[in-house]
Amino acid sequence: MDSSIDLSLAYADSGVGEVLDQLDCELIGLKPVKTRIREIAALLLVDRARKDLDLASTMPSLHMSFTGRPGTGKTTVAIRISQILHRLGYLRKGHVVTVTRDDLVGQYVGHTAPKTREMIKRAQGGVLFIDEAYYLYKPGNERDYGAEAIEILLQDMESRRGDFVVIFAGYKDKMDAFYQSNPGLSSRVAHHIDFPDYSNRELLAIAQLFLVQQNYYFGDEAEGIFEDYIERRRQLPFFANARSIRNALDRTRLRQANRLFARMGEPLSRDELMTIEPADILASRVFQGEVEGRHPTQPLMESSE
């Protein structure tokens, strides 16, 4: 019997490298996050190799915590993690079921357990991604049933750890408080991954990637103006990293379309249809110190972003 294994061949056969390459292409920056995902993939690849050589060990805990602000790539990474686990044989399907408190917690006695178990059932063979997980816990409210949902999750995370993986996600400070109030939950989460905000340079690269994907590009001086937009936008409320950049480009395309529409009757070249001009960006309310996508009379705690 062969008592050795070639990890490079096992890695190639698994197809994990393809998923990691996709992650690199999809997400700008996030080097610490990508490094941690590669480390987890390496751990699981070695664990599988040990099993192939009859080296007994306990199954590694795979439940995770993703912390960071909106638009930092948490959902995208969850999808790729699920695919990696599937290709390595740790998950049967490799899909992701995204839920929030409303999907898990009921409004009356006897309502929470079936809701939570239904979501766990849907996630079997894949990942249950719980966004803004800290809203499950509302201390001091005796009529709140979030604690029941947490208890069911705790039980199944331990007893059915080979059936599905739970990823808790949300703002770092709120998630830290959430784990402090639930020590049993914290002990079941093996991998805590923090997603940093993007730098201005990374946000510009993200914008350029979005434009290329949709067959647009910045015209003369437009790139520099968009850099200014990024600096101004991140100083305003509700900044959501890549999500805010995507929203900004959607509105920029809207203004470009209206600018071109005003030239009705004139022939338009391919380049004109693709070019984002400075005026398309400068018309943003961000240059007046306001958040786009929010009516000026709307309270500041609300936003479409």
Concatenating the DSSP letter of every residue in 37-103 gives: HHHHHHHHHHHHHHHHTT---PPPP--EEEEE-TTSSHHHHHHHHHHHHHHTTSSSS--EEEE-HHH
| Domain 7-195 part of CATH 3.40.50.300 | yes
Nearest 5°: the CA angle 241, 245, 249 is 170
Taking CA atoms, 219 is separated from 211, 228, 248, 269, 277, in Å, by: 12, 15, 16, 14, 5
Q: What is the pLDDT of residue 2?
A: 58
- CB-based contacts of 148: which residues, under 8 Å, 6+ apart? 105, 112, 113, 116
Q: What is the pLDDT of residue 87?
A: 94
Place 252 in a pLDDT band, splitting at 50, 70 and 90: very high
Place 300 in a pLDDT band, splitting at 50, 70 and 90: very low
Taking the whole predicted model, whether its pTM rises above 0.75 is answered as: yes
Question: Could you read off the pLDDT of 7-62 as tens digits, one per residue?
Answer: 889 889 899 999 999 999 889 999 999 999 999 999 999 998 998 888 887 888 89
Q: What is the pLDDT of residue 294?
A: 65
Q: Give the pLDDT mean for 139-165.
A: 87
**Does residue 143 surpass a pLDDT of 80?**
no
Decide if 218 contacts 271 (C-beta within 8 A): no
- CB-based contacts of 186: which residues, under 8 Å, 6+ apart? 179, 180
**Does residue 296 surpass a pLDDT of 70?**
no
Q: Out of 1.10.8.60, 3.90.226.10, 3.60.20.10, 3.40.50.300, which CATH number does the structure's domain 200-288 have?
A: 1.10.8.60
Best-predicted range by mean pLDDT (135-144, 186-195, 244-253): 244-253
**Does residue 304 surpass a pLDDT of 70?**
no
Residue pointed to by tokens 């990024």: 230
Residue 241's region, left for phi above 0, alpha for psi from -120 to 50, else beta, is left
- CB-based contacts of 176: which residues, under 8 Å, 6+ apart? 67
Q: What is the pLDDT of residue 189?
A: 93
Cα separation, 3 vs 250, in Å, equals 57
Cα separation, 276 vs 210, in Å, equals 13
Residues of the chain with CATH 3.40.50.300: 7-195
- Closest by CA to 104, choosing from 152, 62, 176, is 152
Q: What is the pLDDT of residue 92?
A: 94
Amino acid 17 reads G
Q: What is the pLDDT of residue 182?
A: 83
Give start and end residues of each alpha helix (H) in the chain: 7-14, 16-26, 31-52, 74-87, 101-104, 112-123, 146-159, 172-181, 183-187, 200-213, 222-233, 241-261, 270-274, 278-282
| DSSP code at position 111 | T
Q: Give the pLDDT mean for 145-167.
A: 92
Q: Give the pLDDT mean for 121-126.
A: 96
Q: Give the pLDDT mean for 280-305.
A: 70
**Does residue 66 surpass a pLDDT of 60?**
yes
Decide if 97 contacts 126 (C-beta within 8 A): yes
